[in-house]
Amino acid sequence: MFKLRILFLLCLTQSFVFSQQTKVSGRVLEATSGEGMPGVRVQFQGSKIGTLTDSLGFYVLQSYYATDSVTYFMPEFRLVTKAVKKDFEQTIDIQLTEAISDITEVTIKPPDEFPSTTLHKKVVAHKDINNKEKLKSYEYELYNKIQLDLNNIGDKFKDRDIVKRLDVVMNYLDSVDADKTYLPVLLSENISQFSFKNNPKKKRELVSATRISGVENLQLNQFLGEMYLDFNIYDNYLNIFQKSFISPAANFARSYYKFYLEDSMFIDNDWCYKLRFTPKRTGDMTFEGEMWINDTTYAIKTFKANISPWANINYVQDLYLEHHFSQVIPEVWMLTEEKMILDMKVTKGTKLYGFYGRKHSTRKNFVINKERPEDYYKSDYTVEFADSAKIRDPKYWEAHRHVPLNNQENGIDQMVDSLNKDPFFKFLKNATYMLATGYYQLGKIELGSIYTLFSYNPVEKFRMGISLRTSNAFSKRIEFGGRLFYGFGDERFKYGLTTRINITPKKRGLLIIYGNRDIEQIGISPTAAAVGSTFGSLLRTGPLDKLTFVDKAGINLEKDFGKDFVLFTGVEWKEYTALGLATYQRRNDLGGIDTIRKIQSSEITLRLRWCKDEEFIYGNFDRTTLPSKFPILSIQGIFGIKGIFGSDYTYQKVEFAMEHSRNIGVLGRIKYGVNCGAIFGTVAYPFLKVHEGSQSYWLSTTSFNRMSFFEFISDRYVGGFIEQHWQGLFFDRIPLIKKLKLRLVTGARITYGAISTRHNEAMLVPSFTKKFGDTPYVEASIGIENILKLGRVDLVWRVTHLDKGIPPLGIRARWSFIF
C-alpha cells in the first residue's frame, strides 16, 4: 500500500529543474616555488568532465554536468579536492605539494551492484541536465512526414476480385518483408520552424510548407492525431494513445524493468554503452528495447523500443519507436531524428485489412540559448501557417524537405487519382465515410442520415426521415443542409435547415444559420441520442411522455482567438408547445389556473472557453481535438429579453464549468469536472436548469443515468463528476481474464440545487418534479469496458432520492471506438 501511495504521488507530481552551467576558474601554483603549473588535470569529481591548466597554470572549467567538488591531479603531487557551488561562477586558486610515496595494502572487493544498475542510476542522476528543458531557449527546423499504408494484404491479394477490378494498385504495392505487403494510401508532410522559451515557458511553431496526398475523407482523424504526439524520453511516463507507458529513463524504472549492460562502441564520435531493457513482469505498460548511453554525459544517444506484447491498446498490434540524439553544441543534447511505426488491425489474426502508420521526423539548424524578443511569442497561434504554406510547388519541396521521397511516395497522388475513376473503389470509399458520419456522398450532395432514418416515440409513433447536405466537392467554405421527417402518429411534417460558413479559414470562424421545427426532449444531454435517433428509440427504459414541440431559429458564431480561447456567441428565438404530461399552467388573478398553449423566448448567448495548449486536426467544418494536459474552463451567459420577436420573459443565466482529463501513470486515466450556475429573473420552468437525465439503457457519460427527464429543476445549482479508467491495472494481472483485455472503470456524479417560488408567477412548476431538500442527488457506478474492444457495461447505483418500487441498481451499456 505504501508503494502504491508513492507511485500515486509520482504520477501527480512533476518537477522541472532549470539548470545552469557551473563555472570554476583560477590558477594552480607549485607550493614551493609559487610558479604556475601547466598540464594539471582539473576535473569535476566522479565525472569525466575536465580540462588542463595552460602554460601559466590558469584554467577554466565550465559544464552543465558539474558535481559538488573539483579535483586537481598531477603525477608526483598530492591530489587536492575542493568543494564548489553548482550553477554558480567561482574562482578557486590552489597550491600543489609534492607527494611522499608510501606502500599501502590494497583490498579488491566485488561491486555492490550490477554495472547496468550503476549506469542506469547515472542516467537518472543526469536527467535534468540532459533534458532540453534545462535550456533558456532553443529553436530548430522540423520536418514531419506521416504515411498511412493499407496492410494485411496477403499473398493472394492479386487474385482477389477487388484487385482484379482495381488493377492500377499493383504498380504501387510494396513490402516490409516477404510476408508483409502494403499499399500506400496517404502521405502528409510539414516543414516548420519551432521555437521554445523557458521561464516562463512559451512556444511557437511556424509552418512554412504543408501538403497531404492520398485518399480524401478517410476517417482516421483520431489515429492521425496520435501520430502527431511529441513526447520526451526523459519524462517518467510517455503518453501514447491515452495510455501512460513507463519510460526506461523514469526515476523508478528499475522497479519495472530489468537492465543489461551488453556492449560499447563509438556512435558519431561519442563513446556509448548499450543498455538493453525488458519488463520485469507482464501486465505493466512498458517497452522492450535498448538505449545507448554516452559515457561522459550519461545522455541517451539512441533509443529503440517496441511496446510490450501485452500492452492493452486496441487495434494497435505493434508500435516501434526510435529516437536519435546529438550534441548540437557542446553539452547540449537534442532530439535530431525520430521514427515511429504502427501496425493497426482489428485483431492479430484477422483477415481484414489494417493500416501501417509511419512517422519520420528530423530536426536541424538548431539555435540554442539565443532568446527572441518577448513580442515574438505573442502570436495568436500556437501553430501558425505561412500564407503560402499550402501552395508550395514541387521545386520548393525538393529543395527544402530533409529526406527525399522515394518513387512510391511520389506516386501516391497518381495512384489515388486512378483509383477515384473506378466506380467500385468510389463505392468502397463512400461506404466507409457513411459508417463514420451517417452520410453517403453522391458527388456534390451527401445523403443520410442512416442514424435517423426511422424511430419511435409516444407522440409521433413511427417516424421516418431523410437528410441532405452539400459535400466538400460543392464548396469547402459553405455547407447547406436540410432534414425532413414525418410522424405517422401526429401526421405532421418536421423539418430543419442549416447553413455553415467557414468565414475565416486561417483562424477558425464558423458561422451557423439555422431554422428548425421538430419535437425535442428538454433536459436531455447535448451528446445523448435525440428523439429522432434510430438507435436511441430501441433502448428506452421509459416513455418520452414529456416532449416539447419546438420552433426555433438562430445564428451562431464560433471563433478562435488568441492561442487558447474559443468565443461562442449566438442569437436564438424559440417557441415551445407542451406535449404529453408537460403542460403549461399559470394562476390567474382570480386564483384559478389558466393553461398556456405556447411560450416564446429570445436569447443572446455568450460563452468563453479556455484550454491551454489545446490543438486540433481541422476539417473544413468540423475538427478533432488533440487532448491537452490542462483543464478546459468555460463561462457562459444567456440573456432572455422580453418583447423581442414576441419573447415572454426577461432573465439571465450564468454558468461556470471545468473539465479535466489526464493520464496518471500506472493508475490509468482520470476525468473529472465541476459546474455551477444561477438564473436571475422570473421565467417559465422549461427555461430554468432542467437537470440532465436519461431514460435509456444506453450509458450516458454526460448526464445522470438513473434520473428521469424533468425530475429536478433548479435556478441555483452546483454539481460534479469523476470517472476513473483503471486501464489494465487490475484485470491484466489475472491470468485468464487478461487475454480478454478488459478494463475496470469507476465513477460518480453529484448535483444539488434549489428553486425559488417566484417562478410560479410565470408558470407553475409541474407536480412530477422533485425538490432536493437537504440531500443532493448522487449516482455511483462500476463497470467493465473494452468488451470486444468496443463495449462497456456499468452497474449504476442511485444512492439518494430513492423511489418505492424502483430498484436502486440498474445496468447501462454503450459502445465506442477507444484505444
For the segment 610-648, what is each residue's pLDDT rounded down to a tens digit? 998 787 776 778 877 777 889 999 999 999 999 999 999
Q: CA angle, corner 313, sides to 311 and 317, nearest 5? A: 80
Q: CA angle, corner 587, sides to 582 and 589, nearest 5? A: 160
- pLDDT score of 101 more than 80: no
Task: Specify the DSSP class assigned to residue 384.
Answer: E
Domain 17-102 CATH assignment equals 2.60.40.1120: yes
The count of C-alpha atoms lying within 13 angstroms of the C-alpha of 603, restricted to the half-sphere facing its C-beta, is 24
CA distance 318 to 151: 13
373-387, 464-478, 488-502, 680-694: which range is least confident on average?
Answer: 373-387
What stretch of H or E contains 427? helix 423-437
Express each pLDDT in 254-296 by its tens digit.
999 999 999 888 898 889 999 999 999 887 889 999 999 998 8
The average pLDDT across 753-765 equals 92
**Mean pLDDT of the chain, nearest integer:** 84
Copy the grid coordinates of residue 349: 489474426
pLDDT band at 521 (very low <50, low <70, confident <90, very high): confident
Express each pLDDT in 561-583 by its tens digit.
877 899 999 999 999 999 888 88
- pLDDT score of 14 more than 80: no
CA distance 658 to 673: 5
480-484, 506-510, 567-571: which range is least confident on average?
Answer: 506-510
- Give this prediction's pTM: 0.75
Contacts of 658 (CB under 8 A, 6+ apart): 631, 632, 633, 634, 673, 674, 675
pLDDT of residue 105: 64
Give the residue from 117, 113, 122 showing the smallest Cα distance to 297. 122
pLDDT of residue 456: 81
Residues 564-586 as b/e (b if ≥16 CB within 10 A, e otherwise) read bebebebbbbbbbbbbeebebeb
CA distance 486 to 291: 65
Segments making up each domain of the chain, as ranges:
17-102, 120-419, 438-815
pLDDT of residue 149: 77
CB neighbourhood size of 263 (10 A): 12
What stretch of H or E contains 123? helix 115-125
Give the residue from 652, 653, 647, 686 showing the smallest Cα distance to 764. 686
Copy the grid coordinates of residue 224: 492521425
Tell me what percent of the residues of the chain surpass a pLDDT of 70: 85
pLDDT of residue 46: 82
Query: Which residues is 357 bridged to in the sheet?
Result: 148, 342
- pLDDT score of 548 more than 60: yes
Query: Which residues is 536 bridged to in the sheet?
Result: none
Question: At CB < 8 A and 24+ separation, what contacts does 737-741 make?
Answer: 738/282, 738/283, 738/310, 740/787, 741/312, 741/314, 741/786, 741/789
Amino acid identity, residue 648? D
CB neighbourhood size of 723 (10 A): 18
- pLDDT score of 216 more than 60: no
pLDDT of residue 107: 61
Of the two residues 806 and 180, the one the predictor is more confident about is 806
- pLDDT score of 657 more than 50: yes
CA distance 222 to 228: 10
Cα of first residue to Cα of last residue in the chain, in angstroms, is 29
Domain 438-815 CATH assignment equals 2.80.10.50: no
CA distance 143 to 207: 10
Q: E strands of 381-491, at which residues?
A: 383-385, 440-442, 445-448, 454-457, 461-470, 478-487
Query: Max alpha carbon distance in the chain (Å)?
Result: 118
Contact 289, 277 (CB under 8 A): yes
Asked if the domains at 17-102 and 438-815 fall in one CATH topology, the answer is: no
pLDDT band at 300 (very low <50, low <70, confident <90, very high): very high
pLDDT band at 12 (very low <50, low <70, confident <90, very high): very low
CA distance 594 to 587: 6
CA distance 89 to 151: 58
Express each pLDDT in 286-295 by its tens digit.
999 999 999 8
Cβ-in-10-Å burial (0-12, 13-18, 19+) of 76 comes to exposed
Does residue 184 sit in helix, strand or coil?
A: strand
| Helix ranges (DSSP H) in 292-411 | 394-400, 407-410
Of the two residues 805 and 609, the one the predictor is more confident about is 609
The average pLDDT across 581-586 equals 86
Does residue 179 sit in helix, strand or coil?
A: coil
Express each pLDDT in 402-458 by its tens digit.
988 877 777 776 777 766 666 766 776 777 778 778 888 888 999 988 888 888 888
Does residue 691 sit in helix, strand or coil?
A: coil
Across 385-394, 396-405, 455-464, the highest mean pLDDT is recorded for 396-405
CB neighbourhood size of 622 (10 A): 12
Express each pLDDT in 312-351 by its tens digit.
777 777 889 999 999 999 889 999 999 988 887 656 665 5
Contact 247, 238 (CB under 8 A): yes
pLDDT band at 534 (very low <50, low <70, confident <90, very high): low
